[in-house]
Every structure is written in C-alpha cells, then in structure tokens.
Amino acid sequence: MASFLTFPALPSLPYSPTRASSFRSRSTSLFQNRFGVRCSYAEATVRDDYKPDTIDVIADVKTERIVVLGGSGFVGSAICKAAVSKGIEVISLSRSGRPTYPNSWVDQVNWIAGDVFYVNWDEVLVGATAVVSTLGGFGSEEQMQRINGEANVVSVNAAKDYGVPKFVLISVHDYNLPSFLLSSGYFTGKRKAESEVLSKYPNSGVVLRPGFIYGKRRVDGYEIPLDLIGEPLERILRAAESFTKPLSSLPASDLFLAPPVSVDDVALAAINAISDDDFFGIFTIDQIKEAAEKVRV
C-alpha cells in the first residue's frame, strides 16, 4: 500500500545523493520503532517544491489487520488486548460479539457477531493480514469434532480463498497421551485443524500447542483467577524439570508434568507469529514462552 507521509524537518541541508541515503536510513529506523507497522521503502524522493520545514516521502507502508476468531473468549480476548496495545487493527468474530465488560481496549476492537459456519466472510476477511483462531472447546464427541476440527477447517479455507497470508491456530499440547485417549473428538478435531493449517499454509501457518492456560477467566460476569493455581504451578514444574525429565516418557505423564502457560504469553506468542514472517510451523509450550519473550516490552 503506498502512503504519502510528511515527516518533521531534518536539519535543512541542500539535497545530495549521499545525504539522501543517510536520510533513508534514519527514516527506516523511525518506521521500525513503531511496532506492528512493517514498512519498506520503494523510494524516498525529495520533491521539487521542497520546503525547509517539512520533507515529503513516498513510502510503501504495510499495516497489520488481524482477525481473531473467538476474540471474546478467554484466550481470544488476551490476543485482542495485546494486539491493540501494539497498534494492530483488530477484528473479532464470535457468536456473542462484543463483550459486556467495559475496558478501553474493548472499544478499539471491531466486534462482529457471527458464527464461522454461517458468516459472510466478505464482512470479516477482506484486507486481513492474518487470522488467529481460538475456536475450540469441549462437549459431546460430535460437538468437539465440529468446533475443534470443522470450524477451523472452514476458517482456514475461507482465509486461503480471501488471500489472507497468515493463519495462526491455538491448538493444544498432546500430553503424551495413549492413542485411545488421543482419539477423542477434542484431540482428533485439533489435529485435523492443524493439518489443514499446515497444508494450506506450508510456509506461514502457525500452530501453537499450549498446555493448561492460566489467567483471569471471565464466566458469566465473574472473574475466575486461574493464575492463583497456574502461576505457582508453572514455577514449581519449571524448577523441578531436571528431576521430572526422566518421567516424561511415561504415557500421559505430561498431564502432571507439562508446565501451564499464562494467557498473556500465549497472546504475545500469537502477536510474534503474525509479525514475524520467519515464524511458522508447530510450537511447543517452551517455544510459546520463547516467542512471547521476543515481543514483551
């Protein structure tokens, strides 16, 4: 997208090719200081009607515009909040639409009420630079297949059809479970969704596989402080990692040994995923934490 920008004056110097290149590098660093706005220069031109107090620059500016599927949920709202704080334009799609609690970041999200199975994607995906899906949940076998699997498959295909360049899926750790447990609708749905992301987006698709996610979860207007359990548990399990490692080959041992991760870390890892073109593939709990560190201020 080409934009026409006006910058405050640099010291007033006559134009010369050497100075033009030093100006270029200073302006590039100005752009790079703004998180979430990736900019590249086609060219920087000093116009004929040059005035000493302003410099007009033609620049290619790419802004992030993300769609969070399930932005009103526990993980989705943390992603929306983190994205807004980084200056990223955010659209959320969920059946309930805008959450009822007041918060300044809530006002900065474009809330669309709709169901991924019936929505008019024209209203959601046009111009999106990434889709982050938090669709998933529990219920009967059929419901789990539908929300963890089919809902995400439909969304990946819609994103692909609309030319959205990046898809990030919040999936789940496999907990080292025996195969008869992994055959439940929850896990088969998740793995079906993962394969769809990785096959349709082989060079940009991201699958985050967190274990238990803690933070403040809102249910019916109340906040459940899952962090009171999750945070100390994460610290204890990480401190004990060198002792518990030998147990990790036992089936289902990760149900007790996989460290929980904070909802803010999952959100920041998703932000890192959408803003880093080299970030794609499957990410484990530890890799989610590493990715979160890269964008934490």
Ligand X SMILES: NC(=O)c1ccc[n+]([C@@H]2O[C@H](COP(=O)([O-])OP(=O)(O)OC[C@H]3O[C@@H](n4cnc5c(N)ncnc54)[C@H](OP(=O)(O)O)[C@@H]3O)[C@@H](O)[C@H]2O)c1
The verdict on 268 binding ligand X (CB under 6 A) reads no
Q: Which two tokens stand for residue 50?
A: 């040059």
Which residue from 12, 96, 183, 203 is in contact with ligand X, where contact means CB under 6 A?
96
Whole-number Å distance between alpha carbons of 133 and 151: 10
The verdict on 144 binding ligand X (CB under 6 A) reads no
The verdict on 100 binding ligand X (CB under 6 A) reads no
Nearest Cα to 263, choosing from 218, 222, 203? 218
Name the residue nearer to ligand X (CB basis): 101 or 117: 117
Q: CA triplet 19, 20, 24: central angle to 5 degrees?
A: 115
Residue 6 host element (H or E): strand 2-8
Q: Which two tokens stand for residue 30?
A: 């100005």
Q: Which two tokens stand for residue 89?
A: 């334009």
Name the residue nearer to ligand X (CB basis): 59 or 266: 266
Tell me which stretch binds ligand X (CB under 6 A): 52-60, 123-131, 134-142, 282-290: 134-142
Backbone angles phi, psi at 223, to 5 degrees: -100, 125
The verdict on 286 binding ligand X (CB under 6 A) reads no
Give least dist CB 260 to ligand X, A: 8
Residues 156-215 that bind ligand X (CB under 6 A): 170, 172, 210, 212-213
Which residue from 134, 145, 204, 272 is in contact with ligand X, where contact means CB under 6 A?
134
Whole-number Å distance between alpha carbons of 193 and 195: 6
The verdict on 51 binding ligand X (CB under 6 A) reads no
Which residue from 24, 26, 62, 95 is in contact with ligand X, where contact means CB under 6 A?
95
Q: If 0-12 CB within 10 Å is exposed, 13-18 middle and 19+ buried, where does residue 216 land? A: middle
The verdict on 155 binding ligand X (CB under 6 A) reads no
Count, residues near ligand X per rule CB under 6 A: 25
> Do the beta carbons of residue 68 and residue 97 sit within 8 Å?
no
Residues that bind ligand X (CB under 6 A): 69-70, 72-76, 93-96, 115-117, 134-137, 147, 151, 170, 172, 210, 212-213
